[in-house]
Structure 1
């Protein structure tokens, strides 16, 4: 196999590894606030919003030390040990306790900083200036298949259910997360604010809103999974078109970024019209309020697709730019990138918690 073929294979393996792990973690993050509202008890009084605020606060700070960790143990072992912590966070839901839930949230924030800095480092190492755009798109598209597989299960498992328990095949999610570790052992022979806020919204808030809309009927909880699938479809489509076909783009990155901005404006405006204002914090039985139009499942799902498409527009270009401009110091560059991005996320989650 040629050297270029080997580096492309490394990118594919990296993307598949992240796909498998985030099938577990991404699905968990998407549904955890809805699940937590159903099983809060005398033993457990956690909040998914509080957990995310902790994760992103620690994530922000930990980006300052992530390059040093990667310099000492290397990107492969950094990915491996980070994956262990991701699995541990998911495993907490087998029998949740408030203390263990928030402790793992802190550890996950540290692990996430190391994981994403190592990912950016490996992506840059396995790319040239002429292939960084293509490889960013391939990685992003492969990783976003996680939104399809995990949420497909949620859609079928939760259809018609009004009460969700902690028994949502956590063990299978943990297994998938550990499979990610095996995959990554074979790896390797500033528009940040809009991206951050949008990521926060679709990864934990929008699904909760859909599940709380009683006007959507008994299938409202199942729509959380279907929404995640359509976000994934938008992410995959964007990653494929703007990454794999990067060499065919003669107009630079600006049109892609403006397309992402346009799709986000449309999506957020439609969500504003369609979703009740108290949906993110509604009790388990849901909200009886109505926004400015008659709530529409079709509009809600179209918005899911637009959120994914817009997010892919931003992230494929941001990853490509950082890897291109800071090739000789990619670990530190991606750490700073994530530091800024996750600080914005932490501000948003802090506001949601309050």
Structure 2
């Protein structure tokens, strides 16, 4: 197999591993607030929104040390052990306790930072400037198949049910735990790319492992600790560059809308008493989000490679798509749906609530999200190719802290206020992305001129 072929195979394995893991985890996030509302144990006092806020808050803080962990452990093992922690969080729902629920939330936050930093590192070292857009699109499309399969399972399991019993919950979460474990073990199939296929900074041979003469304990070589410290310092330096400061607004927007489509919108649909089979529609909504994500990841990843107009048109399409979705959601869903009690909301929306409109909005949310994320993955990988691990750590730091903030206020804010926040941040994020793309284009043109 050619070096390029091996690198492409690694991207597919990476995508399939994340597909299995997040078939479990994203489905878990989509349904956990509804599951918790139906849980009858009086000793349990957890909130799905609060759990996700903890996860993303810890995730954000842990991104400061994640590049150092990946530098010492390596991206492959980093992803495997992080995946095991994800599986533990999902398994906790088989019989949840308040203490285990929130403890697992903290641990998943730490694991998530390591997982996504390692993912960004592997994506970059298996890509070139010419293939980073294509590979970002392939990875994103495979990842978003997780929304399709997981929520299809939920739809058939919960179809026609108004209440989720203990048996229903246990069946779902045992299945999701097994699926998550399959994804973790797939990471062992990833091979190191051939040296000629690697970016220059990854071709150095690793420092040899030193052994203590007085015991069998393996001593981590000083070079690795230096590498870890250097990765941390590099992350701080990159965070204040002009390009990263501009992109931070766009990244922040993806954090807000991630919270909305992955946790809030499904809860809103499940709370609409005007919908027949509202609980089953949670899974169906997730499927349509996944279809939008898959379509966007596949199409826009390929367009990124061949487009003469850069990344801006795709990001603009994402903003327009999301604005249309927000407007229709505002009209179709009752304003108190995000915080409605177990028996649902009885408030009237601005139009007669429509299931087709709700599912169209799900598709638009997924399509718009893929527009932003594929282009952000591409531009971060392109600008910071030589420092991909710390750059993607910053990416996830910003995204996760905004997601944590959004999950926190989702406990309190009515739907129209949540939509208004996303409208404002999305507009600013699109402008800053355009500015960054323009800076990158000008720099590339100057480089071509200097080489003549």
- Note the 1:143-292 alignment, pairs <5 A: 143-165=143-165, 166-189=169-192, 190=247, 191-217=250-276, 219-292=277-350
Q: Deviation digits for residues 77-103 of structure 1, max 9, x if unmatched?
A: 100110010000000011100000000
Correspondence for 2:33: 33
Correspondence for 2:131: 131
Q: Deviation digits for residues 109-156 of structure 1, max 9, x if unmatched?
A: 000010001000000000000000000000000110000000001111
Unaligned runs of 5+ in 2: 193-246, 413-452
Q: Does 1:305 align with 2:363?
A: yes
- Aligned-pair CA distance for 1:40: 4.2
What is the alpha-carbon distance in structure 2 between the residues aligned to residue 247 and residue 339 of structure 1? 27
- Aligned-pair CA distance for 1:281: 1.2
8 Å CA contact 1:113, 1:338 repeated in 2 = yes
8 Å CA contact 2:51, 2:105 repeated in 1 = yes
- Aligned-pair CA distance for 1:194: 2.0
8 Å CA contact 1:40, 1:46 repeated in 2 = no
Q: Tell me how large the CA RMSD over aligned residues is.
A: 0.9
Correspondence for 1:63: 63
- Aligned-pair CA distance for 1:250: 1.4
8 Å CA contact 1:162, 1:285 repeated in 2 = no
Q: For residues 322 and 188 of structure 1, do their structure 2 counterparts lie closer, same or farther at Cα, with a shift above 3 Å needed?
A: farther
What is the alpha-carbon distance in structure 2 between the residues aligned to residue 349 and residue 181 of structure 1? 26
8 Å CA contact 1:322, 1:333 repeated in 2 = yes
SS of 1:161's partner is: coil
8 Å CA contact 2:264, 2:410 repeated in 1 = no
- Aligned-pair CA distance for 1:34: 0.3
What is the alpha-carbon distance in structure 1 between the residues aligned to residue 152 and residue 391 of structure 2? 35
SS of 2:41's partner is: coil
Q: For residues 283 and 49 of structure 1, do their structure 2 counterparts lie closer, same or farther at Cα, with a shift above 3 Å needed?
A: same
- Aligned-pair CA distance for 1:246: 2.9
Larger Rg computed on CA atoms: 2
Correspondence for 1:75: 75
Unaligned runs of 5+ in 1: none
8 Å CA contact 2:95, 2:170 repeated in 1 = no
What is the alpha-carbon distance in structure 2 between the residues aligned to residue 9 and residue 245 of structure 1? 21
User: Which of 380, 395, 399 is the aligned partner of 1:322?
Assistant: 380
What is the alpha-carbon distance in structure 2 between the residues aligned to residue 18 and residue 83 of structure 1? 9
What is the alpha-carbon distance in structure 2 between the residues aligned to residue 210 and residue 168 of structure 1? 22
